A and B are shown apart, each in its own frame.
Chain A
Amino acid sequence: MTTAPILEIRNLTQHFGGLTAISDFNIKLKNNQMAGLIGPNGAGKTTIFNLVSGFYQPSQGEIFINGKPTAGLKPHKVTALGVARTFQNIRLWNQMTVLDNIKVAQHGKLGYGFFDALMRTKVYRETEDRINHEAYELLKVFELDKFADDFPTNLPYGLQRKLEIVRALSEKPSLLLLDEPAAGLNTVDMHELIRLIRWIHDSFDVTIWIIEHHMDVMMELCDELKVIDFGHTIAEGPALEVQKNPAVITAYLGDENI
């Protein structure tokens, strides 16, 4: 039996007015793969993540998650198909405790409604108990449980990044999109992050797709890299090969003949 790829993107093109942000992008990610997406600023990397997570509707092309098309779905429905993501600039709910940040992320699979919440029915009590327990256990796994009742803003920056990744993982995704997880981190935190991502990859059954500027992070983590520039795919393949690709060097460092 052949299983459908976790993520398949076919001929993805995105226009914003007259600007073509993404043109003819293709990718297939297998189960438990760790892939990277790099490119200079404004290359369209985050746009691709926004398209995959359902935030934009593509102008052309198709996106399949676990074999199911995402066309026309709202982001929370795409999340239900098994996609979770983090953001380039951390987007935690800062006036909610760390524990609540995880609990609210379970909204899609609550299984109770408005009247259950008012009447505190059996379904409500069981669900809340279960969510509370699971969220706490997850925090414990990532050693964040001692901050459970703190507000995210009181956490150091590195831990806020970590919490955002944990919140995404709490959705039990089959595809985890990390949008520049190392942005703003110092070298120590960065090595911590690399260990964390590798550990997540080994312990959870999840495909990880990363956008990152730090080449060393990408070299350490990813099996496969894709390089885009101005929306066009300019190189793809194993990390070491891509690094030596002249087109990539030109895109990043400029043309030496100028």
Chain B
Amino acid sequence: MKSLLQRYSVQLILITLGGLITYLAYEEAIGLYTLSVLMFMGVNIILSTSLNLVNGNMGEFSCGHAGFMCVGAYVSSILGVLLFAKDKVFGAPLINPDLALYFFPLIILTGGAAAAITGLLVALPSYKTRGDYLAIITIAANYIIISLIENLGVIGGSRGFMGMKTVVNTMNDTFDLPWMVIWVFIFTVGCVWALRRYNSSTFGKGVSAICQDEVAAEIMSVNTNKIKTITFMLSSGLAGIAGGLFAYIIGYVNPGSFNILKSTEVLVMVYLGGMASLSGAVLSAILFTILLELLRPLQIIKWVVIPLLLIILMQFRPEGIMGNRELSDLFPKLKRFYRFK
């Protein structure tokens, strides 16, 4: 009985949770505002867990996560609008909009793939440089991506790009369900699940071997360059997926929303949660999203309070909430009730 509970408890909880949120959204029992906060929570979980892979598990210092998010957001937005919506620039939809529902995950994944390829370009300098130098390179990459899009008039330049709402609406017309909520939920769970599997495999443990002693890793047969490339691509690919979802939730993207401030937000989430702790990254993303909403009345002063919180955190608990441990390390008894693989 216990092993049955252990084996299926996570699936059961996830299905119940997903079903509940979907049902509540469908019945309009929770308002659009709460719903959008929940969806941003999902996006933030993807962002913080994926950056945690590079900054926490691998011990590198990447500061340009929003850049990859931007690539994913634009690629999936353009692809979606091009295929399924009537647009001033791109003209009539290329495919029957009724199919949007089925193609949507592919569109988001394509955005992720494009971001992963961008991540490959940033991985290359990481073979030679670490720490501060890599931080500068990733910031530069973030700026390059934004400037590039600001100067591409076809996709709106700095005014931004829209039309994604049409795609979302066609999905809802095809089959009346709150599709965005469902997709955000699925992708968030998928992201955490993929990272969990990657980190717990011997292959993925090469990442923490690099973090702890890169020389020993290379001598002990770990192909460090290959592992770094794969890890960077996985991390930036997931950021791209988060970007794609973000774009479809809001229905509008502009390069300004992916600037260094957004990257900093993600960094704050990673440090808040604790380096190399997957459950910490999930937890801090949830807390941070709620915090941002609670502080919304403060408007711009919010950006005084949040960095201040970070300073206080660094003073009193520099290792973050979880401090490179997982939930199951803190509460070993939990292991009896769930298995997450």
A79-B221 contact given A91-B213, A92-B216, A93-B216, CB 8 Å threshold? yes
Is B208 interfacial (CB-CB < 8 Å)?
A: yes
Q: A243 to B194, alpha carbons, bound, how many Å?
A: 59
What 1/0 flags go to B196-222 for Cβ under 8 Å of A?
Answer: 011001111110110011011111111
Q: Are B203 and A91 in contact (CB under 8 A)?
A: no
Q: Are B223 and A76 in contact (CB under 8 A)?
A: yes
| Residue numbers in A under 8 Å from B194 (CB-CB) | 118
Q: Are B212 and A107 in contact (CB under 8 A)?
A: no
Question: How many B residues touch A, CB cutoff 8 Å?
Answer: 28
Is B49 interfacial (CB-CB < 8 Å)?
A: no
CB distance from A221 to the nearest CB of B (A): 23
Q: Are A76 and B224 in contact (CB under 8 A)?
A: yes
User: Which residue of the partner chain A has the closest CB to B231?
Assistant: A114
Q: A4 to B221, alpha carbons, bound, how many Å?
A: 23
Contact of A120 among B197, B220, B223 (CB under 8 A): B197
Q: Are A93 and B221 in contact (CB under 8 A)?
A: no
Q: Which of B209, B218, B221 has the most CB of A within 10 A?
A: B221
| Residue numbers in A under 8 Å from B205 (CB-CB) | 96, 100, 103-104
CB distance from A163 to the nearest CB of B (A): 12
What 1/0 flags go to A166-192 for Cβ under 8 Å of B?
Answer: 011001000000000000000000000
Q: Are B201 and A104 in contact (CB under 8 A)?
A: no
Is A136 interfacial (CB-CB < 8 Å)?
A: no
Is A108 interfacial (CB-CB < 8 Å)?
A: yes
Q: Are B204 and A117 in contact (CB under 8 A)?
A: yes
Q: Are A108 and B216 in contact (CB under 8 A)?
A: no
Contact of A171 among B202, B203, B221 (CB under 8 A): B221
Q: A104 to B224, alpha carbons, bound, how many Å?
A: 12
A120-B221 contact given A94-B212, A96-B212, A110-B202, CB 8 Å threshold? no
Q: Are B201 and A124 in contact (CB under 8 A)?
A: yes
CB distance from B329 to the nearest CB of A (A): 12
What 1/0 flags go to A71-114 for Cβ under 8 Å of B?
Answer: 00011100110001101000111111000100111111110111
Q: Are B219 and A117 in contact (CB under 8 A)?
A: no
Contact of A118 among B197, B209, B212, B218 (CB under 8 A): B197
Near B by CB (< 8 A), chain A positions 154-172 give 167-168, 171
Q: A95 to B199, alpha carbons, bound, how many Å?
A: 14
| Residue numbers in B under 8 Å from A108 (CB-CB) | 221-223
Q: Are B222 and A104 in contact (CB under 8 A)?
A: yes
Q: Are A117 and B209 in contact (CB under 8 A)?
A: no
| Residue numbers in B under 8 Å from A35 (CB-CB) | none
Give 23 CB contacts A-B under 8 Å: A55-B215, A74-B223, A84-B219, A85-B219, A93-B208, A93-B212, A95-B212, A96-B208, A96-B209, A100-B202, A103-B202, A104-B205, A105-B220, A107-B206, A107-B222, A110-B203, A116-B203, A117-B197, A117-B201, A118-B194, A127-B202, A128-B202, A167-B220
> 13 additional contacts, CB 8 Å, given A79-B219, A91-B213, A117-B201?
A74-B225, A76-B218, A87-B215, A95-B212, A95-B324, A104-B209, A105-B220, A108-B222, A108-B223, A117-B198, A118-B194, A120-B197, A171-B221
